[in-house]
Chain A
Amino acid sequence: MSEKIKFTIDGKECEGQTGQLIVDAAADNGVYIPVLCHWRDVVPAGSCRICTVKVNGRFMAACTTPIEDACSVENNTPELQDIRKAIVEMLFVEGNHFCPACEKSGDCDLQALGYRYQMMVPRFPYAFERRELDAESPKIFLEKNRCIFCKRCIRMIKDEQGRSYFGFKGRGKHLEIALDKKLAENMSEELAMEAMKICPVGAILRKEVGFATPIGERKYDNVPIGSDIENLQK
């Protein structure tokens, strides 16, 4: 049974339940911790590390660490903000993110975090590694240049038998996202749209649609990512 416990984030008194992940508990208390791989109630991947916080002085991923009674979480410190900004910048140089040519622009979580942390230019050199675009399946474009390896699609997009449509290929610097050709042939419309929706960037795109929302009306055109959580009225 889960019990109510108390903890603090940057000194703010918060309340959560035992076993609850820090990132979710924070959100329930109106505190935004940035995420790229996390999706509430889905097995955490802990892969993007952007939710790194300090728990009782130790660096931890907020999306994989449950809150503990009376723990003290640091979130909006200059040190952590700089780490997060660096991770965003790193993602912008390691993949090929040409925002002006991306259908997800304006609705992209990575881009939105770039805005939130006021990224003007990445501190790291651009890699410009060539990656492929997989357009073989009937419903989906897989633009590997934009993939940030969050594993949301691997974890969430499955068929009735629980088989994964998406999977990693290779490891380390050769890592890429791949789509199961056979399964993708019979992918339903709903699942294809769902896959596009959960992708935090523009790596998974439904074919034949795009640029539907005009500039100025997209998700992050006028409000920073995380505003919904921060504006939460308790």
Chain B
Amino acid sequence: MKEKIISIVESNGKTPERLMDILLAVQEEFRCVSDEAVSLIASELGISEADVNQTKTFYHFFTSKPVGKYAVYMNNSATSVMSGMHEVVDEFENQAGIKFGETSPDGLISLDYTACIGMSDQEPAALINSVVFTELSREKVKKIYADMKAGKPVESMFSEYGDGNNADPLVKSMVKSNIRKAWPVCLGEYEVGKGLEKALATDSKSVIEEVKNSDLRGRGGAGFPTGLKWLFCSQEKETPYVMCNADEGEPGTFKDRILLTERTAMIFEGMTIAGYAIGAKEGILYLRYEYRYLKAFVEKVLEDLRSKNLLGKNILGKGFDFDIRVQFGAGAYVCGEESALIESTEGKRGEPRNRPPFPTQRGYNNKPTIINNVETFCSAVKIIENGADWYKKLGTEESSGTKLLSISGDCKLPGVYEVEWGMTIMEMLEMVGAEDVQAVQVSGPSGICVPPAQFDRKIAIEDLPTGGSMIVVGGHRDLLKDIVLNFMEFFEDESCGSCITCRSFNMILRKQIQRVIEGKSIKSDLDNMVAWGEIMKNTSRCGLGQSSANPVFTTIQNFRDLYESMVKDVEFKSDFDIDKAIAESCEYVGRPAKVHE
């Protein structure tokens, strides 16, 4: 073990900045990062064990005890539950004879949950040793377990692969891309290098100017003007970095997965154009661990680009040097927040930074850094290729261009749709074949729960801005239990905890929603939930805490009648349940659980 760990540390430059890669390698090699391993890593890197543990314990996929030879991570997002996750969970538990959260005594299989793995269009889905299994059912679980018993490698448990590059020899995944609608920006025709060639033919200022003129705004959800971000960064003195945020963790989002699979080179081309525009030499693609199955493929694309002189030294003979490396995450939603992503890339806990300074001033390694979403970089390629005017013709006046929507939930045609900004929710529902819709969750848990009365609203920055997650909630669903509670559990799990209002108020709000569902709440509790959510929104450091009360806010606002039907209109009501409170002690001392009145 010692030699192996020393060699892992050394092959990663023996620096704490690469702690994520070191821990990933150790976890994959030994199925855990044990205390012994922590101790070795700490002494090799010259840091304290406390520091190694700080990073290790932050990420979901690092474990102290060995996971099973087959480590099952079942996605427990709302769409997975809606698609029948509980059946699948039950079958896994039946087959393996253990519960979720446990490892079988023989070490064969471990069962655990994980947050959305970006497969909402083909749920229920799970990761088994970082291989994706989609559309799981009881039958499939039985077969998978039989294969495990037989010792089959995970990769050979199936032989049918998904469409497009999912079937590439370096991917060989059952994942389907489900591209339902393509527009000429991201999913239309693409020829590698054309945009970059055009960019390198002009000066860097003109590139920024073109992007600025296109009115392109960040496609991750926050919607910051991309050109402006690039401009700010280019004005800094030190050599900046380009980072691509491929940590799409917002439950219900999976459009970046499609771009990473089908437009891989385009993403890198966009990063390279950005690098040229701001004067960077190095780019980093921060890729979520859930997409580890794309590792070999993505790295091959980088190699191809280098061999075509579209990346590396003296790109296209224009004297511009730029290269890109891939940094994997290890399971933490908050790392989608750009400053948390930087911290993670530096080998630390993915805790969002305080601002100012902004990443464009001091980002990765304290150098100016731009971080853009996968889709933003792809859009930038086409803007440079076809011009800002061409791009602005698409979309609405205030929201130019197209948007990739990840549509899932109760509809006939879940998948990725590239649409022009300005489509209404109603049009969208017709497009995906959704009937009897109770609500549409726009932008995932941190977004808005839109009721039918508002289905004429437009998907656009000026009305319903979105990173693209659209979860259709059918009339037969229990909105509070299936959606709101699931989302609050998600935030409770994913809050990094380093700012205490986000940490605690998510816990408090989750419990309050649970009380409503259990019929324990009174009317004034609803106002309290809103008031407490406001405190979290106003005091939290990053977007997670500032938006994680949204499931509560937007459903209390838009579905008030539903809530009021579930709460009592009295001044005081106790949660206290005497039968529950005495059950355990009566059983233990051996007396009937009955209270004398």
The residues of A with any CB-CB pair to B shorter than 8 Å are 44-49, 52, 59, 61, 64-66, 83, 86-87, 90-91, 93-94, 123-125, 127, 148-149, 151, 159, 161, 163-175, 178-183
Would B57 and A182 count as touching, CB distance under 8 A? no
Query: Given that A83-B538, A172-B495 are known contacts, is A166 also in contact with B50, CB under 8 Å in the complex?
Result: yes
Would B497 and A172 count as touching, CB distance under 8 A? yes
The 6 nearest A-B residue pairs measured at CB: A167-B50, A180-B50, A175-B497, A64-B354, A163-B48, A49-B539
Alpha-carbon distance A52/B50, docked complex (angstroms): 30
Residue on B with the closest CB to A129? B507
B501 at the interface (CB under 8 A from A): yes
Would B50 and A164 count as touching, CB distance under 8 A? yes
Would B50 and A165 count as touching, CB distance under 8 A? yes
Q: Contact string, B485-512, partner A, CB cutoff 8 A, digits 1/0?
A: 0000000111111111101111110010
Would A47 and B498 count as touching, CB distance under 8 A? yes
Residue on A with the closest CB to B491? A172
What is the minimal beta-carbon distance from B320 to any residue of chain A, in angstroms?
A: 36
B46 at the interface (CB under 8 A from A): yes
> Which residues on B sit within 8 Å (CB–CB) of A65?
356
> Which residues on A sit within 8 Å (CB–CB) of B528?
123
What is the minimal beta-carbon distance from B504 to any residue of chain A, in angstroms?
A: 5
Would B494 and A172 count as touching, CB distance under 8 A? yes
Chain B residues touching A, majority SS: helix
> Which residues on A sit within 8 Å (CB–CB) of B39?
182
> Which residues on A sit within 8 Å (CB–CB) of B499?
46-49
> Which one of A86, A125, A183 lies within 8 Å of B535 (CB-CB)?
A86
Would A171 and B496 count as touching, CB distance under 8 A? yes
Q: Which of B502-531 contact A (CB under 8 A)?
A: 503-508, 511, 528
Interface size on B, residues (CB 8 A): 41
Query: Given that A44-B354, A46-B541, A52-B539 are known contacts, is A173 also in contact with B503, CB under 8 Å in the complex?
Result: yes
Would B500 and A181 count as touching, CB distance under 8 A? no
Alpha-carbon distance A222/B426, docked complex (angstroms): 64
> Which residues on A sit within 8 Å (CB–CB) of B538?
52, 59, 83
Would A83 and B57 count as touching, CB distance under 8 A? no
> Which residues on B sit within 8 Å (CB–CB) of A127?
507
Alpha-carbon distance A183/B50, docked complex (angstroms): 9
> Which one of B51, B493, B497, B532 lies within 8 Å of A167 (CB-CB)?
B51
> Which residues on A sit within 8 Å (CB–CB) of B541?
46-47, 49, 61
Alpha-carbon distance A161/B43, docked complex (angstroms): 13
> Which one of B50, B503, B507, B511 lies within 8 Å of A179 (CB-CB)?
B50
> Which one of A90, A148, A179 lies within 8 Å of B508 (CB-CB)?
A90
> Which residues on A sit within 8 Å (CB–CB) of B503?
94, 149, 172-173, 175
Question: Known pairs A47-B500, A83-B538, A90-B504. 14 more at Cβ < 8 A?
Answer: A64-B355, A65-B356, A94-B504, A94-B508, A149-B503, A161-B46, A164-B50, A167-B48, A167-B50, A167-B54, A169-B53, A169-B57, A171-B57, A175-B498
Alpha-carbon distance A66/B53, docked complex (angstroms): 32
Alpha-carbon distance A65/B539, docked complex (angstroms): 13
Would B495 and A173 count as touching, CB distance under 8 A? yes
Would B356 and A171 count as touching, CB distance under 8 A? no
Would A170 and B493 count as touching, CB distance under 8 A? no
Query: Given that A94-B507, A170-B57, A171-B349 are known contacts, is A181 also in contact with B49, CB under 8 Å in the complex?
Result: yes
> Which one of B46, B54, B501 lies within 8 Å of A169 (CB-CB)?
B54
Would B501 and A90 count as touching, CB distance under 8 A? yes
Q: Contact string, B46-65, partner A, CB cutoff 8 A, digits 1/0?
A: 11111101100110000000
B540 at the interface (CB under 8 A from A): yes
What is the minimal beta-carbon distance from A138 to any residue of chain B, in angstroms?
A: 17
Would B48 and A180 count as touching, CB distance under 8 A? yes
What is the minimal beta-carbon distance from B510 to any residue of chain A, in angstroms?
A: 9
